[in-house]
Structures are given as C-alpha cells and as structure tokens.
Structure 1
Amino acid sequence: MKLSILLATVSGCLALYDPSSYTDRPCGDDITNLWLDVVAVVDNSKGMRFDGLQSIAASLVSVFGAGTRIGVNSTEKRTTRVGLVSYNEKARVNADLTTYTSFDDLFSGVYTALNDVSSTELSYLSNGLGAAADLFKKQSFGTTRDHYKKVVIVFASAFKGSGDLDPLPVAEKLRTDGAFIVTVAYDQDGNGDLMDKLNLIATPGFNFSNTEEGGNLIGKIQGALMQSNCFCPNNYDQYRVSFADKFSYRYGSCLLPVNIAASWKPAQMSCRNRKAYLATEFTQHKHDFIVKSVSSTTGFHPPLSYHIGLNQVLGKWVWDQPQGLPQIELRSWFNWSPTYPKKSSSFPGVQNLQNSNSTQWQNIDAFKVSTNYICEAYACDTDNYCDDNGTL
C-alpha cells in the first residue's frame, strides 16, 4: 500500500524536531497522538491469580491513560482503537475494536472484564492470539483503518500448547500480516523461563516482564507502541541503527533511492514534489546506511554515484530541508573526496561518488551532471498522520 504523509504544519514540525540540532529526526513520542489498532490479549487462567489480573487491568489502562484518544474521531485521525480478549482453555472477546469509544469506556470496560479469574488452570495463548487475529481481519484490514498499524499486547502467566494449540504459528501469521506483538510475562515462579518462551513470539525488542523493567513497564509498553507507530511508506527505507536488522531502533526518517538519473537541481525538485528533500548525511553512520540502501536497490551499480542534499548557498555549504524550512549549515563530519570541494560557484551541488572502497562527496554543476539521487522524508508517526491515498 502506498501512503502519503500529511505534515500538519511546518511550524508544528519545528516545535517537535529542530533540524538545527544537527541530529537525525527521532520517531514522534507524543502518546496523545498515537494512532493504532490494538488488541490486548490477557491470560485469566487460574495461574494468573486475582492479584495478577488486577495488576494487568491497572497497567493496561495506564498505558493509554496519558491522553491517548480512544475510538474514532471524525475531525482527528490520530486515534487508537483498543480491543480486549481474555483467554484460558478458550478465548473470549470481551471488547471488539468498536466497543470502547472513549478512555472512560476503556477504563470501566477493562476493570469489568478482568475482575474474575477462571477456574481452569489450562492456558492456551494460541486461542487468544487467534481471536486477536480474527478481530483485525474483520474490523481493521480492508477497512478505512487498513493503513493503521496493528499491535497485539499479550499478558501471559504460561506458555503452553502443541499441535493445533501451538502459539508460534499463530504469532508468525500475525507478524507476517504486519502486526507487532508486545509480550508481558507475569512469571509467578520468577525464574525467567516464561519470558524466554514469550520471546519466541514477540516482535524483537518488545518482550517485557512485570518484574524486570525497573518499575517502568508502562513506559516500555508505550515505547513499543510508539515504535510500532513509526513507519515509512512502501519503497522507502526507514533509517535505523542497523541496516541488516529491520527491528533495530528506528529513526523518524525515510529514505527513497531514486534510480532515474537527473541533475542536482531537478532531483531536488523531484524530492520536493514527493513532500521530501535530498538526503542529509550528518554522520558517518547515516552515510554508511545510505550506501547500503542504494547498494541493495535495483538501478544502482558500481561505481555508485548519487546526489545528496549538500549544496552551496551564498558561499556556505548547507543541507537541504523540507520546503519552507531553512537549510542547515554543514557543521561536523566531512566526507569530501581529495581535492574537493572545488572552489567555484559553478559547482554548488554535491554527489556521492564511489572510488575504490570509499564513497565520498564531490561538488558538481547543479544542471550538467546527471545521476541517481536519494530523497528523504519525515516518517509517519505520532507527529505526522499518513493516509492511504497516493504517494509520499
């Protein structure tokens, strides 16, 4: 699915992220603007015990209690729907994705649903996950909220089941369909074994315990939700700590390698027409990430060459920025090829050019040198709502 990003306003973006900090944009972290479809899957078997169930109820409402808009809103698209599934031997849908229309609904509904522990000791997480998958299938995928990211939050006291009751295939299907899985181990024995087992189904980095989070379980779950809510449109690479690991910490920056050659100035205009800009390389890490991105993109061939956002304006080297924002003066980490930059106002654009084992900056004529280029845009996140029409 293609997505188009709707930046609220330039001034709004400045208030949240200031490019002059000379750092790459982090993902938005405004929990009030979370926009997800979430299903909480709660183990209410005998092993959870009443105290555990009450702790889960308190944790769940606290996750969304800092102002997150619950339900749907005709004037604000950044809303979160929350469903609730309890499970033991079987699963029960306590609330589908349309039940809770406000935080008050969520508060009272969660405490009502999680007020009784089952009399059975049987606990089959596969049934709970299956019920969550069914809710997404019926009420999220293929609807006006199809482009909203899906998250399952599991609260479990056991990890059991084999064959048709094995939770691993159900979890794998959820992840394949694009859902994130957050797990919280309520390990009554306290030996860590349950957390290790839940790690098999959790999205990497999203596996937590009620006893091992330094008193910050709510913050950890909220952080996982905001990382889930930080993503890029199709064909864009999300800038992250590790290019090889798509689940490593993600930044709020999206990179689009364009494999149709253009000179520097038209490339800049092409990016702006995509509500983007020519990419920045504030650090060696960002540069190396882009090299790996273009190296894995069809249409980029050794020796690599591509335009980036560095350019000369009034005698100063500055980085391209979203239209309407001031360009940022080159400050630190320099990657010029030997004998560059050429001291000529006739060469105001910059390309990366591969020479032997390194890829370095060279300033060029902004209209006479045509090559591929890299666009960069802000990610879809709590600061930026993205709809499902068109391209970025």
Structure 2
Amino acid sequence: MIPYSNYFVENYHTYYEDIADRNLKSLRLITTLGFLMGVPLILVSLFLENFLKATVPYTIITAASVFLNILAKTSLKAYKRLIPAALYTMAAIILGVSVYLGTIMQPELNAVAFIVFLVGLPLFIVDIPSRICMFMGIFCVIFCMLSKIYKTPYTASYDIINTVVFYLLSIFTSHQFNYLNFRQIMSNNILEMQRDTDKLTGLWNSGFCERKITSHLSLANAQGALLVIDIDNFKLVNDSRGHDCGDQVLKEVGAVLQETFRSSDIIGRIGGDEFLIFLPDCSSDDVPRDRIVQFLEAINAINTAADRELPLIGASIGIALAPEDRCTFRELFKHADEALYLSKQNGKNQYAFYHILP
C-alpha cells in the first residue's frame, strides 16, 4: 500500500465535494463511451450469429449508460452523495458483462475484455484505496470461479493467472492515479484557499461565501440561516485609535466568530467591518440564539481586552432563512441586510429576523 492511503481516508470527507466532481466527470465519460460503443456492438451482434448471445449484455450496458448519463447531467449534481454509488454501479455492470462474455458465453477463449476493464476502470475512480481494491477483488473472485466451472483446465488456469497478475497491476496503477488525483485536488484547494481567504482575519472572503452558499442552496430541500453582521462603532475605533488598532479589533472579531460557531458553518468577512455567517441545514427552530448571544457578549468584551480603552463595540445582526425568506443568495442577503438595518434602528448590539419584521 502506498503510504498516502491512511491520509486519504482521514481527509476523504474534507475534500469530498471535489472528489465527487471528479467522479461525476468520470461517470459522464464512461457512460458516453458505453453508449457510443454499445450501439454498434448491439447492431453487430444482431447480424453475426457468433455474437447473437451477446445482444442482451450489450443492451444492458447501453441502457445503463443512457440512464446514468442522464442522472449525471441532472439529479446527481444535487445529490452528490449518490455519485460514488452511480459510478460503482456502472463499473459493476461493465465488469459483470465482461465476466459473462469471458466465461459463460465464450468458454473456449481467453478473457481479454475482462482483463482490460480490470486494469482500466479503476483509473477513472477517485475513492478510498481499500474500497477500490475490494470492489475489483470481488469481480476477480467471481471470474476465477466461473472460469473453473465453464472453461477447460488449461484455459481456466491461464485466465486465473492473468487475473491475479493484472489485479495486482490494477491495485498499483489505481493507487498511483488516486495519489496523483488527490494531490491535484489538494493543490487546487490550497490555491483556492489562498484566493478565497481574507488576509486580515483568515476568514473566507465575500466571493467564496457567495459561491459556497449558492452551491448549498442549489441542493434539493436546502435549508439554512444567513447572518449578516455589522460591527457597531467601528469607525470610532479607527478615528480614535488608528487603523492598526482597528485591524486588531477585526482580527479579534474573526477569532470570536470561529470560536462561537461550528466549523461546518460558512464564516466570512464581506467588507470593512461587515461579516457573514451561513448555517447550513438550519431551520427557524434550529437557529442557535444562545450562540448569537454568546457572540454579542464576546464582542462587548473586546472593549476591555489588553487594557485598551476603546469606544463601546457591539454588533448588529440581521438573519434571513431559506427557504422561508427565498432560496437564492442575493435574495437572502438582501433580506438579512434589511433585518440588520432594523436591529441598528432598535438600538444596536442585537439581532433581528427578517420573517418577523413589522
């Protein structure tokens, strides 16, 4: 096993969306090729007697390719958790057909197609290495058992030896390709993180927040709460203590946000003294009011931190909910901003919900 395997397992969920996108592209490619190759093979099998028994298997591959290709271009974009299952299903159909063709249908011939798919298919899958090995191993065992049953001892022995050798080769090559794909995904994430991170606070910037929230809201039955935060009296801090002190306050606000809310929440700085938090899968009953109050209290405590005498710092917060207050980022932000304006009108250092505005 290549040493990266454990690291891959530990970070699989961290990079799951990128891995899913890569596997979705592979599924589209495999299903497109399955259709383009399946149709001619069906036609050939209908006119050549030797291939007549292969009509049904070829039809299965073609039909599965069409169905899964349609899913890949439609619903799988929203249900990314189903992408690995769809990809493995297509691979299982291809391997199953190649096992049938190489054993039951043509017992007198060596199985070339199965060996080709045994080595080639894993190269299109980015997944936990042990899972790929187990998946391919199951079909190798099935192939070897059917070879012993349907083939002559010599042909069966030849195919079994080939299967063992090329299975080991498949493990090695799939691990190498997985390693390269995973490194590329990590490198892309590092570059994107540098591009998408606010350099002062270490939080996400506005562009990233909008893309990430939009992506979440595009999922089926998406829910979430958007909090828009404005630091009260921040201009007075800059005017009375200078921009260096103001920057330090912003850093502390960012740290408080990260300590108060979940790591799965989207936390960003979207302007000079404006921040944004998106709580995925959060309904109106689930909004953590206790955390919001905790955040407001922590912001007030910044005033006396490090023996500094600062103008009274607080935070005004506007909250909008999806899908109650619309389902696009722009609409949610607009409504949260209106709720923020109300909280400022009511005396600052408090929060307000858009759906209960007067």
TM over 0.5: no
Which has more strand, going by share of residues? 1
Name the TM-score, length of structure 1 as normaliser: 0.23
Q: Relative contact order (alpha carbons < 8 A, sep ≥ 6): 1 or 2 greater? A: 1
The structure with the larger Rg is 2
